[in-house]
Amino acid sequence: MKRLDILLCAVLLSLAAQLMRAQDLHFSQFTSNALALNPAVSGGIISSEVALSHRNQWSSISNPFKTFAFGASTRLGDLDKDRRGFWGAGLLAYNDRVGDGNLTTNALLLNLAYHIRLSRYEHLGFGLQSGYVSRFVDLAKFEWASQYDGSVYNSTLPTGENGYAQSFGYMDLNAGMVYTLNNTAAEVNVENNNFRQITAGLAFQHLTMPAYAFGTRTIEDHLYVKMTAFGSALWSIPNSSLALNPSFLFTKQGPHEMLNAGALVRLGIKGNSKYTALVKTYALYGGFHYRLHDALIWTGMMEYGNYQFGMSYDLNVSKLASASSGRGAIEFNLRYVMNGTKARVLTSGL
């Protein structure tokens, strides 16, 4: 298993290098790459993790909207040794490409968080995130009215459009706070199905309202500040191998709002290692979320030891469903998680 661990980590890190080369992130499995939601989550319930996400949307009606994201975070300092709190740090890189004009957004963001200990199992975290975001659009992909010669489209004719740039960039600043309750904290050795975990946070992104325009200052616009509220829990059902995993996400950016809510059911399965006395836990998740006025989302996940793999499918139920035939998006997530040296369940939580 050690060789497999090393191989998968190497694959994740090599793919991350490609992501550092597009619109705010939009994932159905929003808890699987939580740095895209809130910079305060680093080092919270999860001590250290590496996450890779991929989303493919609207392939049935246009060039697919494709989003890749890589996130890595770690806890700095030991919760038991530092009674007052501890630090966390993280990195988020993403690439988003949408539409016929290949509107592309690339970002590389770093974050730092500090968690104040409220009790043995609770803490309150505050985080800042900053980095560089670049945007690009391929103007050659567009067809303009001036390029029709009276009967057909002629790409050799001038577009008649002036003052537009194909790319621009800006520094971004995000901030957030998060509350966590975790009965596996402080390296407490709990039973396989004895989860009492809650994460809830509030974040504000684009605090500097950076300029946003593919053109001159006369047509310049600014990004709205985006508010993100989210919550997630993992709560065991007594005398069973089941646990409930409800979660919600609400975002508001200018006049636009999104609400995504639902729940998964976790079935815990315990398996023994063939080569050591350690216990490797297996778990299966399944359930649904609903993104208001947009999609019904089916999600399935599998855990094995430190690894978690998730897949979701968006069934489009909006007014676009007649054109999309209900086919919204397919999404994949892969995580490698380290959550303390004595906690028997390594991949639980946000």
* pLDDT tens-digit map of 56-70: 987 766 677 899 999
321 Cβ contact list (under 8 Å, min separation 6): none
DSSP 219: G
Domains, the chain = 2-338 (2.40.160.40)
- Strands (E) across 183-317 are located at 196-205, 211-212, 221-222, 226-236, 242-253, 256-272, 279-291, 295-304, 307-316
H helices within the chain, ranges in order?
Answer: 2-19, 321-324
DSSP 225: P
pLDDT, residue 348, reads 45
Tokens of 55: 């989303």
Q: Quick one: which of 70, 38, 85 has its CA closest to 232?
A: 38
Count CB atoms within 10 A of the CB of residue 7: 10
pLDDT, residue 233, reads 94
DSSP 8: H
pLDDT, residue 268, reads 86
**What's this model's pTM, rounded to 2 decimal places?**
0.84
Residue type, 230: F
Whether 7 has a pLDDT exceeding 70, the answer reads no
Residue 84 backbone phi and psi in degrees, to 5: -80, -30
Whether 74 has a pLDDT exceeding 90, the answer reads yes
In tens, the pLDDT along 297-339 reads 999 999 888 889 999 999 988 777 666 666 788 999 999 987 6
pLDDT, residue 23, reads 52
> What CA–CA distance (Å, rounded) separates 223 from 50?
29
